[in-house]
Amino acid sequence: MNLAEVPPGAHVVLSSVREDARTSPGSGVRLRELGLRPGAGMTVALRTPFGGRVVLVGRRRIALDAATVRRLEIAS
């Protein structure tokens, strides 16, 4: 299951970040810098109009675009 399938208000744990040919090489590093690494707990705060999400990780609010949201695999 990926983060795009999670409704607002749900608390989830990130299990992995999928890489593919379209992602930039530094995107995984940037996500880890923001605290989005395997094992991190997060709460989905908002669903944006074009498929993105705003998540709460610790005390941070992080806005993610739709492509990134689909790459974030969560533990079910």
- pLDDT for the residue 75: 87
> CA 58 to CA 67: how far, in whole Å?
23
Instruction: Write out pLDDT tens, residues 9-67.
Output: 999 999 998 877 566 667 778 888 889 999 999 999 999 999 999 999 999 999 999 99
Residue 19 corresponds to which tokens in the numbers above?
A: 């890489």
- pLDDT for the residue 22: 67
Q: What angle do CA 12, 14, 19 make, to 5 degrees?
A: 140
- pLDDT for the residue 27: 76
Number of domains in the chain: 1
Longest Cα separation, the chain? 32
- pLDDT for the residue 29: 83
- pLDDT for the residue 21: 59
Give the domain range for residue 60: 3-74
Q: What angle do CA 58, 65, 21 make, to 5 degrees?
A: 110
**pTM for this model (two decimals):** 0.85
> CA 5 to CA 21: how far, in whole Å?
22
The CATH number linked to 59 is 2.30.30.90
